[in-house]
């Protein structure tokens, strides 16, 4: 059993913990929150044995094996470093870092010290991935991939009215590429590998946040067009087109809503499983990497390479689209 701590008390943490319960492989030890009363309420509701508001003390706690981090993006690298340096395995919410170099340094440190350092990206580990890969293998020579994730932010109206909203605060490493576009990049790199080149653009909101954006990945024989938005709701989904058919993907973040279209007929391959079931895969993998490292060594190596490649592409998109992050150096 993995003795787990969490950093962050948002809805995504609750969903991840629901997935952990499905695995039966975790003991919930300590929930961290800067707000002690919030931490106490969260810990009680989620079944933790304790809570704390001292991050350094939590990292030094010999009673935990691993931590799940779900805080604003700007804190991810430094908080991960703290736990890794204190011998804890780390699963950090996407995006795991704000630039690829951070990931490479921390990943190398984890490797040398026999620790797991991974990004919580549910699509890579869910059951829908195998279904999607199999379907893509049936459509022949790919001519075009259109990968989209547009979801109108529930906080957009508040932001438009002048309220400060974390998800559009670039000093926190936020914005649409980091929040939604990362799923599109993961899908492209996971399915097709590294592109030959990338061209990208973005539309910007007051304060400098990228409200929507697009990237074109050059794969030589075909092009993958990625689009993502937090200022409008997409309706068409994603699709991969080949000379023998088309694969439709309703949710690129969960690899769900998958169907195969051939000869004018559409066959549904996967609907929309509950969110905790989709996230169960990453929870299972994290426990497996920790408890059975030899059995999962090759998988962990592949996932680590994928994470590096994704964030290398993310950096290229940021550069070409001129997405700027006025990040303050964060130290604990």
Tens digits of residue pLDDT in 296-312: 999 999 999 999 999 99
In what side-by-side order are the strands of the sheet with 117-120?
50-52, 26-32, 2-7, 66-69, 89-93, 117-120
With respect to residue 112, please indicate whether it lies within any of the assigned structural domains.
Answer: yes
What pLDDT does residue 267 have? 98
Reported as a single tens digit per residue, the pLDDT across 200-242 is 999 999 999 999 999 999 999 999 999 999 999 999 999 999 9
- Residue 27: give its domain's CATH number: 3.40.50.720
* Cβ proximity of 252 and 227 under 8 Å: no
Q: Which of 272, 287, 311 represents a domain boundary (last residue)?
A: 272
State the average pLDDT for the chain.
Answer: 96
State whether 95 and 168 are in the same domain: no
Range of the domain at 240: 128-272
State whether 118 and 160 are in the same domain: no
Structure-block tokens of residue 79: 């908080």
State whether 152 and 63 are in the same domain: no
DSSP assigned state of 115: -
DSSP assigned state of 177: I
State whether 149 and 200 are in the same domain: yes
Read off the pLDDT band of 124 (50, 70, 90): very high
What pLDDT does residue 326 have? 85
With respect to residue 285, please indicate whether it lies within any of the assigned structural domains.
Answer: yes
State whether 78 and 149 are in the same domain: no
Q: For residue 120, give every residue at least 6 positions away whose Cβ sits within 8 Å of its Cβ, in sequence order, or none.
A: 16, 68, 70, 91, 92, 93, 94, 96, 282
State whether 141 and 241 are in the same domain: yes
What mean pLDDT do residues 155-179 have? 95
What pLDDT does residue 330 have? 53
State whether 100 and 69 are in the same domain: yes
pLDDT at 44 > cutoff 90: yes
What mean pLDDT do residues 31-56 have? 95
With respect to residue 331, please indicate whether it lies within any of the assigned structural domains.
Answer: no
Q: For residue 160, give every residue at least 6 positions away whose Cβ sits within 8 Å of its Cβ, in sequence order, or none.
A: none
State whether 195 and 110 are in the same domain: no
State whether 215 and 267 are in the same domain: yes
With respect to residue 10, please indicate whether it lies within any of the assigned structural domains.
Answer: yes
State whether 110 and 165 are in the same domain: no
* Cβ proximity of 115 and 107 under 8 Å: no
What pLDDT does residue 133 have? 98
User: What's the domain count of the chain?
Assistant: 2
Read off the pLDDT band of 329 (50, 70, 90): low
φ, ψ dihedrals at 238, nearest 5°: -115, 160
State whether 95 and 172 are in the same domain: no
3-state SS of 197-257 is EEEEEEEECCCCCEEEEEEEEECCCCEEEEEEECCCCCCCCEEEEECCEEEEEEECCCCEE
What mean pLDDT do residues 91-113 have? 97
With respect to residue 8, please indicate whether it lies within any of the assigned structural domains.
Answer: yes
- Residue 230: give its domain's CATH number: 3.30.360.10
With respect to residue 22, please indicate whether it lies within any of the assigned structural domains.
Answer: yes
What mean pLDDT do residues 234-251 have? 97
State whether 173 and 256 are in the same domain: yes
Read off the pLDDT band of 143 (50, 70, 90): very high
With respect to residue 327, please indicate whether it lies within any of the assigned structural domains.
Answer: no
- Give the burial string for 34-65 (b: 16+ CB within 10 Å, else e): eeeeebbebbeebebeebbeebeebbebeebb
What mean pLDDT do residues 277-295 have? 96
């Amino acid at each position: 059993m993995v003795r787990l701590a969490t950093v962050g008390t948002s809805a995504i943490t609750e969903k991840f913990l629901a997935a952990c319960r499905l695995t039966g492989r975790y003991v919930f030890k300590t929930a961290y929150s800067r707000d002690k009363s919030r931490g106490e309420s969260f810990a009680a509701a989620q079944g933790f044995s304790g809570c704390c508001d001292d991050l350094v003390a939590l990292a030094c706690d010999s009673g935990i094996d691993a931590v799940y981090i779900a805080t604003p993006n700007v804190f991810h690298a430094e908080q991960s470093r703290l736990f890794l340096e204190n011998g804890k395995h780390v699963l950090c919410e996407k995006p795991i870092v704000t630039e690829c170099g951070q990931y490479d340094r921390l990943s190398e440190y984890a490797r040398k010290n026999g620790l797991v350092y991974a990004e919580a990206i549910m699509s890579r580990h869910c059951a829908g991935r195998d279904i999607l890969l199999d379907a893509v293998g049936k459509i022949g020579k790919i001519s075009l991939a259109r990968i989209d994730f547009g979801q109108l932010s529930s906080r957009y109206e508040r932001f438009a009215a002048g309220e400060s909203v974390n998800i559009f605060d670039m000093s926190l490493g936020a914005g649409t590429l980091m929040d939604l576009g990362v799923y599109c990049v993961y899908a492209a790199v996971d399915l097709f590998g590294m592109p030959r080149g990338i061209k990208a653009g973005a539309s910007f909101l007051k304060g400098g946040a990228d409200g929507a954006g697009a990237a074109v990945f050059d794969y030589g024989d075909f092009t993958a067009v990625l689009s993502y938005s937090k200022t409008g709701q997409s309706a068409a989904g994603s699709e991969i087109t080949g000379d023998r058919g088309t694969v439709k993907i309703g949710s690129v973040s969960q690899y769900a809503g998958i169907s195969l279209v051939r000869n004018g007929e559409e066959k549904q391959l996967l609907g929309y499983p509950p969110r905790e079931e989709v996230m169960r895969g990453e929870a299972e993998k994290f426990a497996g990497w920790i408890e059975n490292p030899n059995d999962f060594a090759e998988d962990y190596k592949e996932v680590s390479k994928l994470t590096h490649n994704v964030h290398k592409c993310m950096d290229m998109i940021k550069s070409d689209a001129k997405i700027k992050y006025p990040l303050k150096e964060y130290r604990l």
